[in-house]
């Protein structure tokens, strides 16, 4: 149906160009809000009427008569109807909708994909400091970042996944002293225990392994403990390696992989932080006041100027952020996306201001940001706030262990990132239609069961005669399949993986309705093959969409009787 729509749009463009030169490039169809109004809607007559000083409805009639002369409209369109003030509603012939089945079966896993653009982008996400287990907010970030990467890969982009973490600073120092105290036998609640120390059981685990002189390995480092409780720097290095290893275990359980781990400390060691400060000073965008160095960030839309270097000589945290993003740009990533919590909203203007002020040709909107809210977790009808492992919050590992990787991913991608979300553990475990991930996966498994019972050659279905696919439920299902490519493209453009989850639920609903309306394995060979081709195409699109979300498409599932 993609080819059908393309043919129809080309014909529309020709007629629009005749009416108003230059307007052909804006030829487009919309999806009617009410299905009874048709399959496509064209609003061009209403858009052009004023400039042509014509009545929109009369112009629509003129355009309709012209379109009906084109071979594409003769071949694929059942009716063109004028509605309202000048809408042109397009009703497709069944054979036009049937084309999508052929397209899906021909393209397989790459249905909806765009050709390689040669462009590349960097997506930075999770970026958790190695001071504790990953919490559910990190989980939302991991799901978002990975799904956005997958979306852009379908659109022909080369995608690079990066994890940036702070391996220095106050938080790391607190981690080291907390671990040292535990190694010395001091615990939370003791008089010597600092108020700001980390209280989770994981600190005791790190201390025990440090005393045991264990070796820990993570994706980006390896370290062997000395066991010397007075060697604070040794404790710090071991604790960071230990927690990076723990984070790796969480990310593997969540099926998230990174191409690179970028250390904040490397920005200082390589001189990149000092270099960016000098660039900003040389550009005349800084000034000294009250013993501090300030950036004139208000010149770039910030609400106030920002301190870069404090009176004690240390840099504020946004300075290495600017250096880091210059490094992204210099590595050739002209498009970059940061997935961060909404608490980072205030850093956007100052980071972009710093990038503008260095005069390297970086665009004003670089990088893009996707901000997400935190997650509330409900279990047994009550909110869960504390994890024994972490001491103060629910961890990503808790959520995966309570439910599954698939449930956590799908649920965390079922709402817009900036909306509050309550993760219902009990719902995620339910094996019924109320559980959205079960509902979608069950549709896929249901199709696989039918195909298995048939036992024929799936490749042969590509040649099936699709003429028998005429019922309202079959036509509705094919129209839903045809929406996938444009949906996936828009979801990438808008950083909106939740649109994929919405689409999959709608597609599953269409399939379940079709399955309830028509028996697939009928005696008539032609009808059976046509229906098998349709459901095989549906299974493929369900698989493709779930794959974008990082969720499996099982071939077998048990359904609860509840």
pLDDT tens string, the chain, 562 residues long: the values are 778 898 999 999 999 999 899 998 888 998 887 777 888 999 999 999 888 888 999 999 999 999 999 999 999 999 999 999 999 999 999 999 999 999 999 999 999 999 999 999 999 999 988 888 899 999 999 999 999 999 999 999 999 999 998 887 788 999 999 999 999 999 999 999 999 999 888 999 999 999 999 999 988 889 999 999 999 999 999 999 999 999 999 999 999 999 999 999 899 999 999 999 999 999 999 999 999 999 999 999 899 999 999 999 999 989 999 999 999 999 999 999 999 999 888 899 999 999 999 999 999 999 999 999 989 999 999 998 765 555 668 889 999 999 999 999 999 999 999 999 999 999 999 999 999 999 999 999 999 999 999 999 999 999 999 999 999 999 999 999 999 999 999 999 999 999 999 999 999 999 999 999 999 999 999 999 999 999 999 999 999 999 999 999 999 987 654 3
Q: Looking at the DSSP assignment, which residues form a beta bridge with residue 79?
A: 91
In angstroms, what CA-CA distances link 233 with 3, 177, 197, 205, 210? 64, 10, 17, 18, 12
Beta strands in 417-492 (DSSP E): 421-424
Burial pattern 202-223, b for ≥16 Cβ within 10 A else e, equals bbbebbebbbeeeebebebbeb
Asked if 2-92 and 432-549 have one fold, the answer is no
Q: For CA atoms 280, 282, 284, 289, give the dihedral sign.
A: positive
Q: Looking at the DSSP assignment, which residues form a beta bridge with residue 158?
A: 120
CA atoms of 471 and 478, how far apart (whole Å): 11
CA atoms of 369 and 178, how far apart (whole Å): 34
- Class of the domain covering 432-549: mainly alpha
Q: Looking at the DSSP assignment, which residues form a beta bridge with residue 260?
A: 162
What confidence score (pLDDT) does residue 562 get? 36
What confidence score (pLDDT) does residue 518 get? 96
What confidence score (pLDDT) does residue 130 get? 86
CA atoms of 194 and 205, how far apart (whole Å): 19
Domain boundaries, the chain: 2-92, 432-549
**CATH topology for the 2-92 domain:** Gyrase A; domain 2 (3.30.1360)
Q: pTM of this prediction?
A: 0.90
Strand, helix or coil for residue 368: strand
Beta strands in 196-266 (DSSP E): 215-218, 221-224, 260-263
């Amino acid at each position: 149906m993609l080819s059908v729509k393309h043919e129809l749009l080309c014909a529309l463009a020709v007629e629009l160009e005749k009416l108003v030169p230059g307007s052909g490039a804006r030829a487009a169809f919309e999806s009617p809000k009410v299905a009874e109004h048709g399959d496509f809607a064209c609003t061009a007559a209403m858009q052009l009427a004023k400039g042509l000083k014509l009545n929109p409805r009369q112009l629509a009639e003129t355009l309709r008569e012209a379109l009906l002369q084109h071979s594409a409209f003769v071949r694929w369109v059942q009716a063109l109807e004028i509605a309202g003030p000048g809408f042109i509603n397009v009703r497709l012939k069944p054979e036009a909708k049937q084309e999508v089945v052929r397209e899906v079966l021909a393209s397989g896993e790459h249905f909806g994909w765009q050709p390689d653009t040669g462009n590349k982008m960097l997506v930075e996400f999770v970026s958790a400091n190695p001071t504790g287990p990953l919490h559910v907010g990190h989980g939302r970030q991991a799901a978002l970042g990975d799904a956005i990467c997958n979306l852009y890969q379908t659109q022909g982009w080369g995608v690079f996944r990066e994890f940036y973490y702070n391996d220095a600073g106050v938080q790391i120092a607190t981690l080291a002293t907390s671990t040292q105290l535990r190694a010395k036998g001091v615990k939370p609640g003791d008089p010597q225990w600092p108020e700001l120390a980390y209280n989770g059981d994981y600190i005791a685990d790190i201390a025990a392994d440090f005393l045991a002189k264990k070796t820990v390995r993570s994706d980006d480092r390896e370290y062997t403990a000395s066991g010397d409780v007075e060697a604070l720097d040794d404790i710090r290095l071991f604790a960071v390696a230990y927690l990076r290893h723990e984070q790796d275990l969480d990310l593997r359980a969540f099926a998230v992989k990174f191409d690179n781990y970028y250390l904040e400390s490397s920005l200082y060691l390589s001189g990149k932080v000092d270099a960016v400060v000098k660039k900003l000073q040389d550009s005349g965008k800084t000034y000294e006041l009250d013993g501090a160095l300030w950036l004139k960030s208000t010149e770039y839309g910030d609400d106030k100027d920002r301190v870069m270097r404090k009176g004690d000589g240390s840099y504020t945290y946004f300075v290495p952020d600017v250096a880091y993003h210059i490094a992204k740009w210099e590595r050739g990533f002209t498009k970059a996306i940061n997935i961060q919590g909404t608490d980072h909203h205030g850093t956007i203007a100052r980071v972009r201001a710093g990038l503008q002020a260095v005069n390297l040709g970086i665009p004003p909107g670089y990088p893009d940001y996707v901000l997400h809210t935190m997650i509330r977790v409900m279990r047994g009808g009550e909110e869960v706030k504390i994890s024994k492992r972490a001491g103060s919050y629910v961890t990503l590992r808790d959520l995966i262990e309570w439910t599954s990787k698939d449930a956590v991913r799908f649920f965390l991608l079922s709402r817009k990132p900036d909306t509050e979300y309550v993760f219902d553990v009990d719902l995620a475990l339910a094996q019924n239609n109320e559980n959205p991930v079960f509902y979608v996966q069950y549709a896929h498994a249901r199709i696989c069961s039918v195909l298995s019972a048939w036992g024929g050659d799936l490749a042969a279905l590509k040649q099936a005669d699709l003429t028998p696919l005429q019922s309202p439920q079959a036509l509705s299902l094919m129209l839903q399949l045809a929406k996938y490519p444009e949906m996936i493209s828009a979801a990438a453009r808008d950083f909106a993986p939740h649109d994929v989850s919405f689409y999959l639920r709608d597609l599953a609903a269409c399939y379940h309705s079709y399955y309830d309306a028509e028996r697939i394995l009928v005696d008539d060979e032609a009808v059976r093959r046509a229906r098998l081709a349709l459901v095989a195409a549906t299974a493929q699109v369900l698989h493709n969409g779930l794959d974008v979300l990082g969720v499996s498409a099982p071939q077998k599932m048990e359904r609860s009787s509840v």
